[in-house]
Amino acid sequence: MPDILHAVGIKATPHQVYTALTTIKGLAGWWTSDTDGDPETGGVIHFHFGPKAQVDTKVLEPKRDTLVLWEVLAAHDDWIGTKIRFELRQDGDTTLVLFKHEGWRSPTRFMHHCSTKWATFLVSLKTSLETGKGTPFPDDVQISSKAA
């Protein structure tokens, strides 16, 4: 099955990146500013993208400062049952984030779109940590000229 893969290097400690991936405040700083739910292990986080789109993820067992893993419970049909993985590796004074959105059943047009969109959100994660200001929804980078 095809995966979406990305990597960004962030001038921050693994713990700072881990915090941005495991707290509502951190997540709201780079993916969507309208985030709520329970970010603890076993909890469900709700990511809202306006009235028409929402992603609910279950938080699977993390490894502190090293791995964050979600299972998608509710979202666009293509996403149901997929997993979203963030591996963190310290590299000098930076942290490398290796990202994988895995379990896509086929390389749909929507998968192409999501791959590009994930890249822009991972750059948002990077800038949220390096400058204090990311570009979460609704201030996200537009990659289509109409709604996806």
Is residue 143 a contact residue for its own copies (CB under 8 A)?
A: yes
Residue of 20, 21, 88, 122 that binds its own copies (CB under 8 A): 122
Query: Which residue in 94, 124, 128, 135 binds its own copies (CB under 8 A)?
Result: 94
Binding mask 72-91 for its own copies (x = CB under 8 A): -------------------x
In terms of CB distance, is 47 or 104 closer to its own copies? 104
Could you say whether residue 4 binds its own copies (CB under 8 A)?
yes
- Least Å distance, CB 8 to its own copies, is 5
* Whole-number Å distance between alpha carbons of 60 and 44: 10
Query: Rounded to an integer, what distance in angstroms lies between the CA atom of residue 8 and that of residue 127?
Result: 11
Q: Output the smallest distance, CB 89 to its own copies, in A.
A: 9
| Measured distance CA(13)–CA(31) in Å, rounded | 19
Which token pair is 130? Answer: 């390096």
Q: Closest Cα partner for 97 from 135, 76, 66?
A: 66
Q: Which residues contact 48 (CB under 8 A, 6 or more apart)?
A: 32, 34, 35, 36, 54
For residue 51, the minimal CB distance to its own copies (Å) is: 21
Confirm or reject binding of residue 6 to its own copies (CB under 8 A). Answer: yes
Candidates 43, 7, 8, 10; CA nearest to 132 is: 10
Q: State how far the Cα of 47 lies from the Cα of 42, in Å rounded to an integer.
A: 16
Sites of contact with its own copies (CB under 8 A): 2-11, 91-94, 96, 98-99, 107, 109, 111-113, 115-116, 118-120, 122-123, 126, 141, 143-146
